[in-house]
Amino acid sequence: MEEILIEVKGLKKGYKKRKTKEWVQAVDGVEFTVKRGEILGLLGPNGAGKTTTIKMICGLIVPDEGEVVINGITMQKNRLKGLEHISAVLEGNRNLYWRLTARENLEYFAGNRGKSRKEKMGEIEELLKEFKLKQKENELVSNLSRGMQQKLALAVALLADSDVILLDEPTLGLDIETGYEVRQLLKKISEAGKTIIISTHDMPVVQDLCERTVIINNGKVIADEKVEELMNLFETSAYVLTLGNELTEQQQKELDAKFPMNELLDGTKLTITLEQDNDIYDLMDLLKKENTIIEKIDRTTINFEEVFMNLIQEEKSHAIHSIN
């Protein structure tokens, strides 16, 4: 049986907005587990509660309710002991000292975990080489490119020798090439047996790296599935219909009301995700009513970005239905 390393149990956190004094429930009963060696993607739109959840896992924010257990240690009871098992890159390149060199940053953060420079010398050398930072080791961080800074922040987190690495938006603001390079590094890290939680908006990162994903919206977990399963789920319920003629205004209205996850391209190419298998018959009825010709029906090939958008939209439409 695979060992569960992290247990997030019923986390709740609310804030009062400073200006309006309005109460915001940022995280509302989030729970999930992470197995040792797993890479978990934590996804959600802006303001969904991802960063608050990550910070509660690190013990930087105390939850109103619930707890986080890492390797059997409850963070809310014994935070410092728990921190021996976690390292994090929370604000990317801002986590570094810009007036120190790349090497000085690595040495300083190692010292901050109680390790001597001598003890970590070999590891620092290895990391500088592996992260292609050796040439720039004596360069001030302020003079490094954003990609290099991001890689250095990752190297600092790795130097902690922790079981778990938490990454908040590790590819944010990187160009395609560096983003790819960081993804490859993350892959290598995971192959070394580290457990990683990545909070990101970058869907290729999730599709490429994560085995499982937890999607949070409005502070609640709306999906906790293996990435592959989510993709299959949506692939089988997503269709592309090529129509012989354009939809009438009335048809379009009915379509939006019944199937909110639809997209009409050039007036005749309808991409639609159905919630249930039987919905296909309702769709046919709707098209038949105005004698719309269906030239072709295809199953779509879906990417993870579309899966994510579908889930979020589905959640929104459920919320609208429940209000109505």
Q: How far apart are CA 169 and CA 292, in angstroms?
A: 45
Which residue, 94 or 289, has its beta carbon nearer to another protein?
Answer: 94
Which residue, 88 or 215, has its beta carbon nearer to another protein?
Answer: 88
Binding flags for another protein, 59-78, as an x/- string (CB under 8 A): xxxx----------------
Of 82-90, 249-257, 292-300, 301-309: span binding another protein (CB under 8 A) = 82-90
From candidates 87, 195, 199, 310, binder to another protein by CB under 8 A: 87
Is residue 302 at the binding interface for another protein, with CB under 8 A as the rule? no
Helix, strand, or coil here: 155? helix
From candidates 30, 32, 71, 95, binder to another protein by CB under 8 A: 95
* Among the listed residues 131, 83, 82, the one whose alpha carbon sits nearest the alpha carbon of residue 105: 131
Residues 147-176 contacting another protein, CB under 8 A: none
Residues 96-135 contacting another protein, CB under 8 A: 96-100, 104, 107-117
Which residue, 110 or 255, has its beta carbon nearer to another protein?
Answer: 110
Minimum CB separation of residue 5 from another protein in Å reads 17
What sign results for the dihedral spanned by CA atoms 69, 72, 74, 78? negative
Which residue, 84 or 254, has its beta carbon nearer to another protein?
Answer: 84
Is residue 196 at the binding interface for another protein, with CB under 8 A as the rule? no
From candidates 8, 68, 90, 197, binder to another protein by CB under 8 A: 90
Q: Long-range contact list for 171-180, CB < 8 A, 24+ apart?
A: 171/200, 171/202, 171/205, 172/92, 172/200, 172/201, 172/202, 173/92, 173/146, 174/146, 174/147, 174/150, 175/147, 177/147, 178/145, 178/146, 178/147, 178/150, 179/204, 179/205
The tokens 């769709």 sit on which residue?
283
Of 81-89, 174-182, 228-236, 273-281: span binding another protein (CB under 8 A) = 81-89
Is residue 47 at the binding interface for another protein, with CB under 8 A as the rule? no
Is residue 205 at the binding interface for another protein, with CB under 8 A as the rule? no
Q: How far apart are CA 291 and CA 20, in angstroms?
A: 53
Which residue, 112 or 250, has its beta carbon nearer to another protein?
Answer: 112
Of 83-91, 173-181, 184-192, 272-280: span binding another protein (CB under 8 A) = 83-91
The tokens 């709306």 sit on which residue?
222
From candidates 67, 84, 123, 224, binder to another protein by CB under 8 A: 84
What sign results for the dihedral spanned by CA atoms 61, 114, 107, 124? negative
Minimum CB separation of residue 108 from another protein in Å reads 5
Contacts of 74 (CB under 8 A, 6+ apart): 67, 68, 82
Q: How far is CA 4 from CA 7, 70, 301, in A?
A: 7, 9, 33
Q: How far apart are CA 103 and CA 300, in angstroms?
A: 49
Is residue 143 at the binding interface for another protein, with CB under 8 A as the rule? no
Binding site for another protein (CB under 8 A): 13, 15, 52, 55, 58-62, 80-81, 83-84, 86-88, 90-91, 94-100, 104, 107-117
